[in-house]
């Protein structure tokens, strides 16, 4: 169940990425994140209220709430910010390749602090899966930056990887006392509050009100998918463990590749196709 949830989060994240690309001409990235975090958090809170889960939400301990809040702080304020900065120096494909080391860092931290077992099977499957993903994202041609910008980008992407790994591990303890929906019903509103506090999002409500129904429909679809994807990601962590869940949930580029080909007409390179095959083999090894 945990593995399927982690893969499901990757599939929905791939679709989410396509929707975000269609909204960037209207909103900036921070505004899109703020809007979808707010609406997806509202969806989850409504789900909890309608399902009679308010008692579990109210019963969350201060320690668990604090860990969830700090985890989203690491994920968005640090991880996402420096990752976006790294894409300016490295390009998206190379930045993703460096940042995709975060499952290995998260697995090491989980083994150190929570005694999660790291077997040879998990290591082999993780290396194959992440290696295949690296081939997929590097299959996109981008301009090579200068040496100074290269190392700046590598450093920023590495910091993003570490921040995302810490964020994942911080969720481990709170998930022992709550389900995935409750956890994300706490994290997403906190993420939204952090994003709305930045000046880059202040024009978003006015822009949203001025858009047409098509854009609003895509925003609602994006928010619903964000809620679903985030819950499946956390469920993967809860039931499959940090090592397996983080690797499988990182396979979004594998699903984005055929979507980009059929929906956007993007060209598939031999390297990307080879990466797809290696990634599938890695997933199979993880599930043996």
pLDDT digits (tens, 9 = 90+) for 149-176: 777 888 888 999 999 999 999 999 999 8
User: For the chain, what is the mean pLDDT?
Assistant: 86
Task: Choose the most confident range, by mean pLDDT, from 112-121, 235-244, 257-266.
Answer: 235-244
Residue 146's pLDDT is: 56
pLDDT per residue as tens digits for the range 46-72: 999 988 878 888 888 999 999 999 999
Q: How much is the pLDDT for 142? A: 54
Torsion sign (Cα): 205, 230, 99, 173: positive
Predicted confidence band of residue 38 (pLDDT cuts 50, 70, 90): very high
Number of separate domains in the chain: 1
Structural domain that includes position 150: 2-286
- The pLDDT of residue 78 is 86
pLDDT at 233: 93
- Helices (H), strands (E): how many in the chain? 15, 0
% the chain with pLDDT above 90: 36
pLDDT over threshold 60, residue 148: no
- As a whole-number percent, the residues of the chain with pLDDT over 70 amount to 94
Q: Give the Cβ contact number of residue 18 at 10 Å.
A: 14
Please state, in angstroms and rounded to a whole number, the distance separating the CA atoms of residues 115 and 102: 18
Q: What is the mean pLDDT of residues 258-285?
A: 82
The model carries a pTM of 0.85
């Amino acid at each position: 169940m945990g593995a399927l949830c982690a893969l499901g989060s990757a599939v929905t994240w791939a679709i989410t990425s396509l929707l975000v690309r269609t909204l960037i001409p209207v909103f900036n990235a921070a505004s899109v994140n703020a809007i979808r975090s707010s609406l997806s958090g509202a969806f989850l809170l409504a789900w909890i209220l309608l399902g009679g889960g308010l008692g579990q939400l109210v019963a969350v301990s201060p320690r668990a709430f604090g860990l969830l809040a700090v985890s989203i702080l690491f994920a968005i304020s640090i991880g996402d910010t420096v990752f976006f900065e790294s894409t300016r120096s490295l390009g998206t494909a190379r930045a993703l390749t460096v940042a995709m080391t975060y499952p290995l860092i998260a697995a090491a931290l989980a083994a150190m602090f929570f005694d999660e077992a790291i077997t040879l099977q998990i290591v082999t499957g993780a290396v194959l899966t992440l290696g295949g993903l690296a081939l997929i994202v590097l299959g996109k041609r981008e301009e090579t930056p200068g040496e100074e910008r290269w190392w700046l980008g590598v450093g920023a992407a590495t910091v993003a990887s570490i921040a995302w790994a810490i964020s994942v591990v911080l969720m481990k303890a709170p998930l022992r006392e709550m389900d995935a929906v409750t956890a994300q019903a706490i994290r997403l509103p906190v993420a939204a509050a952090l994003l709305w506090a930045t000046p880059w999002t202040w024009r978003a409500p006015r822009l949203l009100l001025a858009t047409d129904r098509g854009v609003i429909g895509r925003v609602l679809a994006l928010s619903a998918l964000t809620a679903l994807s985030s819950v499946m990601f956390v469920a993967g962590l809860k039931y499959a463990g940090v090592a397996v869940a983080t690797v499988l949930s990182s396979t979004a580029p594998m699903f984005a590749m055929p979507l980009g080909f059929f929906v956007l007409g993007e060209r598939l390179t031999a390297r990307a196709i080879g990466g797809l095959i290696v990634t599938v083999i890695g997933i199979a090894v993880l599930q043996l």
